[in-house]
């Protein structure tokens, strides 16, 4: 791994910690938001599992340190009421720790859940996006926010109540996040948001309802959120964390993959 690759992996992990601090405290001002040695806790303890997050922050630690951190992270997760994820950025690990990761996670009682990818790019400003099927509406009302939550629940396979528990009642998502719905007529079918954090625009909670996927809707609404966020803030660099489903979309916008991300939950 080059110095530049390591630096982008650090950036990706730091963006998670900065953005999730705001998101989790917006959900619950009494949420568990702590920066411990080697571990950042961002845990709303709500039904929306993405807002229940622990991530490791050591850079280049060896296999022994990794094992200790994984056990500590699992203990934190076990103490919570609602399940969530450990986000682990591959680019922060040295080769020895990366080789030992699978066995160390198993010993800690963690089960691999799904993959992701950190991405970033100096890609703003973008031209104003258009899509022949869509119009775009900024999220400014409770009705908009409910539609945004429901699209995420349907897109990621959560119960509707889980997404609503994560977003309904938020002021942040109606004011500081440049969150947009993509509309087919009067039906919301896709969504994306951008949030200014530490000199970058972070792309968050992009989703499309399953029956309208693979039509370019997610890319179009992401471009819209980036366009409006960039125009409002003047920022030129953007970051995101992509799931496997979204990973092919973002390089078309100008994002470059950096660190693989592994998501873990508690085993059994």
Domain ranges of the chain: 3-118+261-266, 135-235
User: Quick one: fold of 135-235?
Assistant: Aminopeptidase (3.40.630)
19-57 pLDDT per residue, tens: 999 999 999 999 999 999 999 999 999 999 999 999 999
Q: Is pLDDT above 80 for 2?
A: no
Neighbours of 162 (CB within 10 A): 20
Spatial CA neighbour of 223 closest among 189, 258, 176, 178: 178
Adjacency order of strands within the sheet including 39-43: 32-36, 39-43, 52-56, 85-89, 256-266, 110-122, 237-243, 200-208, 187-197, 178-184, 135-138
Distance from C-alpha of 171 to C-alpha of 252, rounded to nearest angstrom: 31
45-98 pLDDT per residue, tens: 999 999 999 999 999 989 999 999 999 999 999 999 999 999 999 999 999 999
pTM, entire model: 0.95
Neighbours of 160 (CB within 10 A): 13
Q: What is the dihedral of CA 266, 118, 92, 237, to 10 degrees?
A: -140
* Strand pairing category for 85-89 and 52-56: parallel
């Amino acid at each position: 791994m080059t110095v530049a690759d390591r630096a982008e992996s650090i950036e990706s992990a730091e963006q998670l910690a900065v953005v999730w601090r705001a998101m989790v405290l917006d959900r619950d001002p009494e949420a568990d938001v702590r920066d411990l040695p080697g571990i950042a806790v961002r845990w709303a303890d709500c039904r929306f599992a993405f807002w229940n997050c622990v991530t490791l922050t050591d850079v280049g630690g060896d296999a022994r340190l990794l094992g200790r951190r994984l056990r500590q992270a699992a203990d934190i997760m076990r103490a919570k009421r609602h399940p969530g994820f450990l986000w682990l950025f591959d680019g922060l690990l040295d080769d020895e720790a990366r080789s030992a990761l699978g066995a160390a996670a198993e010993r800690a009682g963690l089960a691999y859940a799904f993959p992701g990818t950190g991405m970033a790019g100096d890609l703003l400003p973008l031209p104003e996006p258009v899509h022949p099927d869509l119009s775009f509406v900024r999220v400014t009302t409770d009705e908009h926010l409910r539609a945004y939550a429901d699209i995420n629940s349907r897109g990621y396979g959560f119960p509707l109540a889980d997404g609503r528990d994560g977003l309904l009642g938020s002021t942040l998502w109606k004011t500081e996040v440049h969150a947009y719905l993509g509309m087919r007529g009067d039906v919301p079918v896709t969504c994306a948001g951008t949030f200014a954090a530490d000199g970058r625009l972070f792309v968050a909670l992009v989703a499309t309802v399953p029956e309208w996927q693979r039509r370019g809707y997610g890319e179009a609404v992401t471009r819209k959120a980036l366009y409006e966020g960039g125009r409002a803030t003047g920022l030129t660099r953007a970051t995101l964390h992509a799931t496997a489903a979204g990973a092919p979309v973002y390089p078309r916008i100008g994002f470059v993959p950096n660190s693989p991300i592994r998501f873990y939950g508690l085993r059994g």
